[in-house]
Amino acid sequence: MTPLAMLERLVAFNTESHRSNLELIAFVEAWLTQLGVASVHIPDATGEKAALFASIGPAQDGGVLLSGHTDVVPVAGQAWTSDPWRLRVADGRAYGRGAVDMKGFVAIVLALVPEMLAARLATPIHILLSYDEEVSCLGVVDAVGRMGVDLPRPGVAIVGEPTGMDVVTAHKSVVSLTTRITGKEGHSSQPAHGANAVMAAAELIHWLARRQEQFATAGDPTGLFDPPCSTLQVGAIHGGTARNIIARDCSFLWEFRGLPGHSHRDVMDELAAFAETDVLPRMRLGAPEASIDTICDVAVPHLAPKPGSAAEQLALRLAGRNHTTTVSFATEAGHFQNGGVATVVCGPGSIDQAHQADEFITLAELENGTAFVRRLVQALGV
């Protein structure tokens, strides 16, 4: 099966992150079994989703892991000009949900398994397909935890997110947080008899905005990232009942995107200290039970640059590049790095085409990715 034909099969599976990916995983398992390749099914806690791990070549640690996620973002509300679940090829492009992010890379890897087998690899190539990358990046965690236990531990991981085949050695963390404020209801004409959670939320959000200004002033000492600083932003707020009722409850959703080495826990602690010393004392004058709590919903670790790593050297050689780069989006790569595997991000296509109507990968980009994996097979063959 060619990479394009494999991509057509993969796009046909609706694997939006809120849906199961098991039909796609079953298809891949059957494809690998047909080729004589065993695979390990790694279900999530619900049993409704699963990751898949397979190895080609010697059954040993080391080698190269090729990793891609199977889930895609929703199509609802987007003005597609063709069926997003049916690959359409026109004008040198292949259109479909997930075509570039990132079923294109996955299709290349799966289509080239017969060539991996024929090469009689001296060093193994491992394949990991994950789930939930688009919502949490947690779909690889169980597999990473098993590497070196009952799964081989790769020496190098290449995460095939769309980078135009540039070799990415660093990205920021991304952390999703929720802050909940509980005050006390009352008549708006008697503010001292209650505690207004919405107004308290405004103070906390203003603090975050000032902290963002401080991040911008501090900048990025490495000069690697754009924007050149850690960032904070509040994306949604919900609270109150009516304009003449003191708001008892309010919550807001915010995120932190941190430079490597800058922890979201520092920001959480600083916000909690501000709440405890400045906001809550005034709220508790009218409502001793008032509270402010922040929880971390999802934390995707950063990918830290490791100049000269085995992953960097290999990917640069395979991609024909002489320099590395960084990206502003987060990936699963930090989980592999934290698991002790040298990791880079490098894959076909452009992130500019992802997450939108008429998502596409060019046929030229698909061929570039295919050539990259073929060079890897040749490099590891006998």
Q: CA 377 to CA 105: how far, in whole Å?
A: 15
Catalytic, out of 8, 133, 166, 332:
133
The CA distances from residue 134 to 12, 18, 27, 351, 378, in Å, are 18, 10, 21, 13, 32
Asked if 259 and 171 count as a contact pair (C-beta separation under 8 A), the reply is no
For the entire predicted model, the pTM comes to 0.93
Collapsing DSSP states into helix, strand and coil, what is residue 8? helix
In the block, tokens 């920001």 appear at 267
Give me the torsion for CA of 362, 363, 367, 373, rounded to 10°.
Answer: 60
Full set of structural domains in the chain with CATH: 3-170+303-380 (3.40.630.10), 174-300 (3.30.70.360)
Instruction: Tell me if residue 44 is catalytic.
Output: no
Burial class (CB in 10 A: 0-12, 13-18, 19+), 100: buried
In the block, tokens 């694997």 appear at 15
* Spatial CA neighbour of 16 closest among 68, 73, 69, 86: 73
Q: CA 266 to CA 177: how far, in whole Å?
A: 13
84-118 residue pLDDT tens: 999 999 999 999 999 999 999 999 999 999 999 99
Residue 382 has pLDDT above 80, yes or no: no
The CA distances from residue 212 to 43, 219, 253, in Å, are 39, 11, 16
Q: What is the pLDDT of residue 328?
A: 85
19-55 residue pLDDT tens: 999 999 999 999 999 999 999 999 999 999 999 999 9
Asked if 268 and 296 count as a contact pair (C-beta separation under 8 A), the reply is yes
- Rounded to the nearest angstrom, the gap between the alpha carbon of residue 280 and the centroid of all alpha carbons in its chain is 35
Mean pLDDT confidence for 349-377: 98
Looking at the DSSP bridge assignments, the partners of residue 56 are 125
268-292 residue pLDDT tens: 999 999 999 999 999 999 999 999 9
Residue 152: both structure tokens together: 């081989």
Kindly give the pairing relationship between strand 64-69 and strand 125-130. parallel
Q: 302 pLDDT band (50/70/90 cuts)?
A: very high
DSSP-assigned letters across all residues of 102-159: THHHHHHHHHTHHHHHHTTBSS-EEEEEES-TTTTS-TTHHHHHHBTTTB---SEEEE
Q: In what order do the strands lie in the sheet with 231-239?
A: 231-239, 249-257, 174-182, 291-300
Q: CA 32 to CA 48: how far, in whole Å?
A: 21
Asked if 199 and 280 count as a contact pair (C-beta separation under 8 A), the reply is no
Catalytic, out of 8, 16, 71, 332:
71
Instruction: Tell me if residue 23 is catalytic.
Output: no
Residue 381 has pLDDT above 90, yes or no: no
Q: CA 17 to CA 8: how far, in whole Å?
A: 19
Q: What is the pLDDT of residue 86?
A: 98
137-196 residue pLDDT tens: 999 999 999 999 999 999 999 999 999 999 999 999 999 999 999 999 999 999 999 999
Residue 226: both structure tokens together: 């754009």
Q: What is the pLDDT of residue 118?
A: 96
